[in-house]
A and B are shown apart, each in its own frame.
Chain A
Amino acid sequence: MATRTHTHERLPTPTTETPDRTWLVVVASLVAVAVAARFAHPTQAAWLRNLFIVFGSLLIEAMPFVALGALVSALIEVFVPASTFAKLATLPRAVQLPAAAMAGIAFPVCECGSVPVARRLARKGLAPAAAVTFMLAAPIVNPVVIASTFVAYRGRDSLWVMVIGRFTIGMLVAICVGWVIGARTPGELLRGASVDDEPDDHDEPRARRFFTHLTGDLIFMARFLIVGALIAATIQTFIPSSVVDHVATLPILSLLAMMALAFILSLCSESDAFVAASFTSFGPSAQLAFLVFGPMVDLKLGALYLGTYSKGFLRTVVIVVTAVTLVATLWVQVVWG
């Protein structure tokens, strides 16, 4: 039985008879980096030490979530028939999008894990708008995140504003993005990976297909996550979080500043409530903006989106998420203060 090449893994086809020895250069480079890291004491430079620690911690936390997402994605690919999603795709959008957002409740992982799953769902036949709605809502509405938000704000007057507000506005924003995505097809939405590009490996044993998709998704996502984590760590290393303090009391700027901070910090949605709670100079609405915006748009997610989705997707997400979050949290600001 022949094994077909997976395009999304970028496994190559032979183009020359001369063996490519690039791998030797790569291995030599990695060894050189290891020796330099061990013996040149780069972490004696405080900023470099800070950069490595934050970079490492972001990856060590996010990679298992990406792995879990890839695992779920591979299971969906191998064990869930495409007809299941095709049926869902026939439902009216007004039903599909809220249902997709609510489905996020059953998926307790952070934002990095939901990206490969949404990608798989869209390729498998679910309406891309619904897949994106799920992807954006899941990191906010899942029980672990709700619980962490509750714990972070327990004992404060704003507790229920934060918990209910985050859930509700998160759902609203995710549905709005899905609505704007509209009737785009997987081929229009996914970067270089339309349905037609999927390997036709259905004749192969399930175990083989499972590992092909698991490793393909992992390698695909990992490289973008690494780039995003490196950018986030670099910015965290040089820009103090207090940079936004001076706009804490300004009505709209405070919301935008907290959204910008969430974008830069690239925190996991399961921990960001504790950081948001530490910005006591900002009101509940600005903290809500931080908690809704961050799990949908941040630096590491930006890299993942750019790698996963077609040109223009990131722009659409940033514009819609910013606009809806701003309007919703502004309303909270007016009502709550």
Chain B
Amino acid sequence: MSLVASARWSQARIAAALALGAWGVLFWTLLVTGRTSLYLSSRTAWLVPMGAVIFTVAALGRLATARTMDDEPLDRRTAWTLGAITLPVVLILALPPATLGTYSVGKRATFGGSAIGASARDVTGPLDFVDIGAAQSFPAAMRQLETRAGEPITLEGFVSKEASAPDEILLTRYIVTCCVADATIAQVRIVGLQPADYADDEWLQVTGNVYPVGREVLVAADSGTVQQIPVPDQPYLMP
């Protein structure tokens, strides 16, 4: 009998190919559906196609070399190991898309991208959450913001309320540098609204006038200039 004729499919190698293929499917899915922005910033989004290609190549290569001369059954330990490797893929694909919300606000640092803070001096267009986050961290950026006190501003973010100030609402946005694990926050206090009308994690577009006060930023608005919006396609800001 020739060597080729006696080669047989290795269960263990096929299972490994499937586990790696699952990761390839995850990265392709993120790429195709645009869900990358739920996990990574635009500056690291290139990792997704790279991961898709490498995992796909690895899976196909493993499959192409899965015929062996020796028996390689899939033993218990290997099966559970490969299952554990596949589990995060199953979770990420099966869970409905979600973003960080109010729960994480108290556990995150305030955004402090000094590059943005420094460039705030040159901002001539509309102010945004990144400028505000920088102003809350850097005196120079705050001084810049103070020169624009009273200017109109339109912000999109989610509602978070403080237990210590139930009669006010905070509008919050996460700023992500590489991945959501490094998210920091930018926040403004909205005055002029009835907090009871708005729930935690509700996304709003608020138009008002900006007023830096100390290290805080207030936005004076009224209910006529506030509207509920769906979660944006880019829920995290990426400076």
Contact = CB atoms under 8 A, between A and B. Distances in A.
Partners in one complex: yes
Interface of A: 1-5, 9-15, 19-20, 22-23, 25-27, 29-30, 33-35, 37-38, 41-43, 46-47, 49-50, 52-61, 63-65, 67-68, 70-71, 151-156, 207-208, 210-212, 214-215, 218-219, 222-223, 226, 232-233, 236-242, 265-268, 270-272, 274-275, 277-280
Interface in B82-125: 82-88, 90-96, 98-104, 106-115, 117-118
A226 to B, nearest CB: 6
Contacts of A64: 27, 47-48, 50-51, 54
B16 A58 contact: no
Contacts, number: 265
Contact of B54 (A56, A71, A152): A71
A61 B179 contact: yes
A2 B25 CA distance: 32
B231 interface: no
B19 A267 contact: no
A4 B68 CA distance: 8
Contacts of B96: 38, 41, 43
Given A35-B94, A214-B61, 4 more contacts: A11-B13, A46-B103, A219-B82, A219-B85
A214 B56 CA distance: 12
Contact of A240 (B70, B107, B112): B107
Contacts of A266: 181
B218 interface: no
A272 B115 CA distance: 15
Interface of B: 3, 10-13, 15-17, 19-20, 23, 26-27, 30, 36, 38-40, 44, 47-48, 50-51, 54-55, 58, 61-62, 64-65, 68-88, 90-96, 98-104, 106-115, 117-118, 137-138, 140, 177-182, 184
B110 A23 contact: no
20 contacts: A3-B68, A5-B72, A20-B76, A46-B101, A49-B98, A49-B101, A58-B179, A60-B26, A60-B39, A60-B92, A64-B54, A153-B114, A155-B114, A240-B106, A241-B108, A268-B44, A274-B112, A274-B182, A278-B112, A280-B138
A223 B181 contact: no
Pairs A-B, 10 closest by C-beta atoms: A155-B118, A271-B178, A278-B112, A64-B51, A211-B61, A46-B103, A12-B75, A26-B83, A57-B180, A37-B94
Nearest to A1: B3
B18 to A, nearest CB: 10
B115 A219 contact: no
- The listed residue with most A CB atoms (<10 A of its CB), out of B68, B77, B94, is B94
Nearest to A65: B47
A59 to B, nearest CB: 5
A3 to B, nearest CB: 4
Nearest to A32: B90
Contacts of A156: 114
Contact of A60 (B40, B64, B82): B40
Contact of B58 (A25, A26, A67, A154): A67
B79 A22 contact: yes
B107 A236 contact: yes
Given A23-B15, A223-B84, A208 B65 contact: yes
Nearest to A56: B92
Nearest to B86: A30
A50 B104 contact: yes
A25 B84 CA distance: 12
B64 A211 contact: yes
A97 to B, nearest CB: 30
A221 B157 CA distance: 38
Contacts of A207: 61, 65
A259 to B, nearest CB: 16
Given A11-B72, A49-B103, A211-B64, A278 B15 contact: no
Nearest to B177: A274
Contacts of B62: 211, 215
B178 A268 contact: yes
Contacts of A155: 114-115, 117-118, 140
B10 to A, nearest CB: 8
Given A20-B73, A64-B51, A155-B114, A10 B78 contact: yes
Given A68-B50, A156-B114, A38 B95 contact: yes
A33 B93 CA distance: 11
A152 B113 contact: yes
B182 A272 contact: yes
- The listed residue with most A CB atoms (<10 A of its CB), out of B48, B78, B114, is B114
